[in-house]
Amino acid sequence: MFAMNEIGGLGQSIADGLCGDITKDLVAAIVEEAGRFASERIAPHNRKGDEVGARLEGDRVISPPGWKSIYQTWMKAGWNSLSCDPEWGGQGLPLLLQVACTEIWNSASMAFALGPMLTAGAIEAIAAHGSPALKQQYLEKLVSGEWMGTMNLTEPNAGSDLSTTRSSAKQAGDGSYRIKGQKIFITYGEHDLTDNIVHLVLARIAGAPAGTRGISLFLVPKILPDGTRNDVRCGGIEHKLGIHASPTCTMIFGDGEGAVGWLVGEENRGLNCMFTMMNNARLGMGLQGVAIAERAFQQALAYARERRQGYSNGSVDAVPIIQHQDVKRMLLAMKSKIHASRAICYFTAASLDRARVETNGETRSRAAETASLLIPVAKAYGSDVGCEVASLGVQVHGGMGFIEETGAAQHMRDARIAPIYEGTNGIQAIDLVTRKLPVSGAAAVRCLIEDMSSIAEELVTSGHSDLVATGIGLREANANFTSATDFVLNAVARNARQDALAGATPYLALFGHTLGLALLSRMALAAHRQILSGTDNPTKNGRIVLARFFADQVACQAPGLAQAVLRPSTITDHAETALYC
């Protein structure tokens, strides 16, 4: 709630009348209830879901025991429709709240939460681009969660690069198409949680131009409106490192006459339609990282308080390992990275909310640009934090961490997919430096740099020693971020794209560290104000410490990362020599 208020600006949005008639108390109650549902109903099944996994029997996918009933209970409680349009039965709540709940579901079980995240993407694409008839036919049941949705993009030879998509679509003469092709890595492509599954499928209409400009998007339901089975089936499921309870399917469209599908959006504009829904999906993958990290942290913290080993300051008995400096370091690294990446995700979600509902046109488009800039950062930084923190969670457990029964290892396995899917983190970094950053003369990033600079000055002049130290750290990080930004923008402008691309990954990390520190600082300043105004409570001072820890121990990597961005030559000019020596 603190991050939703201080970073997401929830109070301000409510005051600005952007959130309808909800109140802070209502939001708090919803988040609280989501936490209860997740802890009590979903989380206990996470390990079993991992052990048993989704199984294929013929072309049917069987969920782990209990999975279907959890989904049905969850869906009937209305959790699927929080931020959806009331026109289709949604509750019209802010995306910011949706995002907080998404984190909670993913902490409870990433494999479980993934299905509804895909459904949300399908809803978004159909709502934005579908014909009135398609909306009428499908949106209500997708919004309620009675049916689930999927995204069918990848083919064996078309992954990060969709231009080589081969699946084909032929007009059937009745307004529908017949789709043929094979898709791989389709999340929840087939399952037994719902009676129908609504596939969104990229395919090429006969005669379409080659490349990305000849790809169209189709809606292909598993069960046709007349109740018959469509010509689409699951051809296999993958044996994966993690998220075992989430079936990753090979989907076969058109074994026979072709699967019946309807065009979504215009012909040959399928990628554009997909990118609409990908924005939120990418933010979702960042949140998955935050979510897994939070669960890994809670588990590691509990273990570190319980497990006694070794002595500290001349203690007679063995002390809980949380008293050891190196364990404290690991736990603080986990927590500060979680809070930083969560803040980035909430900030992005709040910008998306403003871009959707803000009435002032200029404010709206500025919010949209900020959101668009931040999405690759939220996705890549959040998912990287997920992996790092889950791995630290294993480490805190020592030998027990390597034993599957402990559960820490599952978090690490589950978390590892988030930097890969919905565009690898390398693709996010490329998107950031070549597409997002230069938009409108780099106005969004310049504005961000200015805001961060103001925060640094506020810290430095606060008179509180920890805040001052944090401010000096933020100043230095922001200066490094500014040089790196200039370098990247300059490289793109003078058509030396390779120089920008070679440093894209450290640039994104630098972006994340700097923005993460700025947002942790905003929370620390808010905490400080609350302490000063006497609305102190014992947890507030911790937020000041957390920001300073992040400045001293994490964002101190800024100079090194900036240097990495500024020195691309070994990568651009001589990589082959070194790789084959």
Residues 551-570 that bind a copy of itself (CB under 8 A): 552-553, 556-561, 563-564, 567-570
Q: CA–CA separation, 23 vs 347, rounded Å?
A: 19
580 binds a copy of itself (CB under 8 A): yes
- Nearest-approach distance from CB 161 to a copy of itself, in angstroms: 4
356, 18 contact by CB (below 8 A): no
Q: Using the minimum distance from each CB to a copy of itself, give the nearer residue, 352 or 500.
A: 500
170, 258 contact by CB (below 8 A): yes
Q: CA–CA separation, 248 vs 190, rounded Å?
A: 8
Give the CB-side neighbour count of residue 564, counting CA atoms within 13 A.
Answer: 15
Q: Hunting for tokens 């995002």 — which residue is that?
A: 99
Interface residue with a copy of itself among 66, 92, 398, 438 (CB under 8 A) is 398
- Nearest-approach distance from CB 390 to a copy of itself, in angstroms: 11
Interface residue with a copy of itself among 205, 412, 456, 510 (CB under 8 A) is 412
Interface residue with a copy of itself among 502, 509, 515, 525 (CB under 8 A) is 502
Interface residue with a copy of itself among 181, 242, 247, 376 (CB under 8 A) is 242
- Nearest-approach distance from CB 543 to a copy of itself, in angstroms: 6
Residue 178 in 3-state DSSP?
A: strand
- Nearest-approach distance from CB 97 to a copy of itself, in angstroms: 22
- Nearest-approach distance from CB 144 to a copy of itself, in angstroms: 31
181, 155 contact by CB (below 8 A): yes
Q: Determine the angle formed by the axes of helices 95-108 and 325-357, rounding to 10 degrees.
A: 140
- Judged by CB under 8 A, how many residues of this single chain contact a copy of itself? 94
Q: Using the minimum distance from each CB to a copy of itself, give the nearer residue, 28 or 420.
A: 420
State the amino acid at position 444 in one-letter form. A
399 binds a copy of itself (CB under 8 A): yes
460 binds a copy of itself (CB under 8 A): no
Q: CA–CA separation, 529 vs 558, rounded Å?
A: 28
Active-site hit among 422, 450, 458, 476: 422
Residues 14-73 that bind a copy of itself (CB under 8 A): none
Neighbours of 534 (CB within 10 A): 6
Neighbours of 224 (CB within 10 A): 15
> What is Dmax (Cα atoms) for the chain?
84
286, 376 contact by CB (below 8 A): no
404 binds a copy of itself (CB under 8 A): yes
Q: Using the minimum distance from each CB to a copy of itself, give the nearer residue, 435 or 574.
A: 574
Q: CA–CA separation, 255 vs 173, rounded Å?
A: 20
Q: List the beta bridge partners of residue 171.
A: 177
539 binds a copy of itself (CB under 8 A): yes
Interface residue with a copy of itself among 269, 364, 413, 446 (CB under 8 A) is 413
- Nearest-approach distance from CB 216 to a copy of itself, in angstroms: 21
Q: Using the minimum distance from each CB to a copy of itself, give the nearer residue, 93 or 387.
A: 387
- Nearest-approach distance from CB 445 to a copy of itself, in angstroms: 20
CA 269 to chain centre: 25
89 binds a copy of itself (CB under 8 A): no
| Element spanning 199, H or E | strand 197-205
Interface residue with a copy of itself among 11, 66, 235, 426 (CB under 8 A) is 426
| Nearest alpha-carbon partner for 445 in 344, 545, 370 | 370
| Nearest alpha-carbon partner for 111 in 329, 377, 390, 416 | 416
- What letter would DSSP give residue 229? B
Q: Using the minimum distance from each CB to a copy of itself, give the nearer residue, 89 or 211.
A: 211
Q: Using the minimum distance from each CB to a copy of itself, give the nearer residue, 11 or 426.
A: 426
Residues 299-358 that bind a copy of itself (CB under 8 A): 301, 308-311, 318, 322, 324-332, 335-336
Q: Hunting for tokens 């064996």 — which residue is that?
A: 156
- Nearest-approach distance from CB 514 to a copy of itself, in angstroms: 13
198, 149 contact by CB (below 8 A): yes
Interface residue with a copy of itself among 94, 393, 419, 512 (CB under 8 A) is 419
- Nearest-approach distance from CB 395 to a copy of itself, in angstroms: 7
Residues 373-392 that bind a copy of itself (CB under 8 A): 387, 391
Beta strands at 216-221 and 197-205: parallel, antiparallel or unpaired: antiparallel
**3-state secondary structure labels for all residues of 295-327:** HHHHHHHHHHHHCECCCCCCCCCCCEHHHCHHH
511 binds a copy of itself (CB under 8 A): no
Q: Under the phi-then-psi rule, with left for phi > 0, alpha for psi from -120 to 50, and beta for the rest, what region is 348?
A: alpha
Q: Is 457 a catalytic residue?
A: no
Residues 156-175 that bind a copy of itself (CB under 8 A): 157, 159-161, 163-164
Q: Using the minimum distance from each CB to a copy of itself, give the nearer residue, 170 or 307.
A: 307
Interface residue with a copy of itself among 154, 182, 482, 483 (CB under 8 A) is 154
CA 519 to chain centre: 18
- Show which residues are catalytic: 422
